């Protein structure tokens, strides 16, 4: 090969070597991000979908529990309203914590809720020393339900898990108008301390 040919070939070889080195050089961080972008975005979407599905499942479960709570109905008598509340409080943490108290609050009349609500405050009231005996009680004895027009009352003696015996007076009224029209709901529960013999007219429940 002539000297001129060698001089012309040298730049060509250098250029070829440079292109090969460039092709083999590590990809920059920005280039890697661009190349991995679609795949990384897909992983993020999958993760968001998984988290969203978990949150939706939790929300559905909470909604199902709320729907499972018995609520006021014009078809329920005053006696049935008291029965539902007592049974719920007897199994307060079934199926979830304070489920019984939440059920009882649903049967509180609108006027009662103004005085005792919201639910967190109502829960604190039920758990204080005056009403704690109703939570997880062993059994109850109930007097006759007295109904006078749109008002009703019933005496209930609770045998607490601790062995104590406490008597309460349930006060109910039938609602007129609004979302609870025609429903019997609890206006209040008054504790009556009894130290003497069992009051007449009480029945076991």
Tokens of 193: 């301390």
Cα gap 161→10, rounded to integer Å: 100
Q: Where are the alpha helices (DSSP H) in the chain?
A: 3-24, 29-68, 78-90, 99-106, 110-116, 119-126
Query: Would the pLDDT of 178 be above 50?
Result: yes
Beta bridge partners of 188: 171
What are the structural domain ranges in the chain?
3-67, 75-204
pLDDT of residue 202: 41
CATH number for the 75-204 domain, one of 3.20.10.10, 3.10.450.50, 3.40.50.720, 3.90.1170.10? 3.10.450.50
3-state secondary structure of 200: coil
> How sure is the predictor about 67, in pLDDT bands with cuts at 50, 70 and 90?
low
pLDDT of residue 185: 98
Rounded mean pLDDT, 190-202? 58
> How sure is the predictor about 32, in pLDDT bands with cuts at 50, 70 and 90?
very low
Window from 69-73, 77-81, 176-180, 183-187 with minimum mean pLDDT: 69-73
């Amino acid at each position: 090969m002539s000297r001129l040919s060698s001089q012309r070939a040298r730049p060509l070889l250098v250029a070829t070597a440079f292109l090969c080195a460039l092709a083999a050089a590590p990809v920059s961080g920005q280039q890697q991000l661009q190349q991995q972008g679609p795949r990384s975005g897909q992983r993020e979407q999958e993760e968001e979908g998984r988290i969203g599905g978990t949150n939706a499942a939790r929300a559905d479960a909470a909604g199902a529990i709320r729907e499972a709570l018995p609520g006021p109905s014009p078809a329920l008598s005053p006696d049935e309203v008291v029965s539902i509340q007592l049974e719920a409080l007897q199994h307060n943490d079934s199926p979830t914590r304070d489920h019984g108290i939440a059920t009882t609050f649903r049967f509180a009349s609108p006027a009662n809720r103004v005085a005792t609500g919201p639910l967190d405050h109502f829960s604190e009231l039920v758990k204080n020393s005056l009403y704690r005996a109703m939570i997880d009680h062993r059994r109850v004895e109930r007097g006759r339900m007295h109904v006078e027009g749109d008002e009703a009352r019933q005496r209930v003696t609770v045998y607490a898990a601790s062995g104590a015996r406490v008597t309460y007076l349930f006060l109910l009224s039938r609602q007129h108008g609004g979302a609870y029209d025609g429903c019997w709901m609890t206006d209040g529960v008054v504790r009556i301390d009894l130290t003497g013999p069992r009051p007449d007219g009480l029945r076991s429940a």
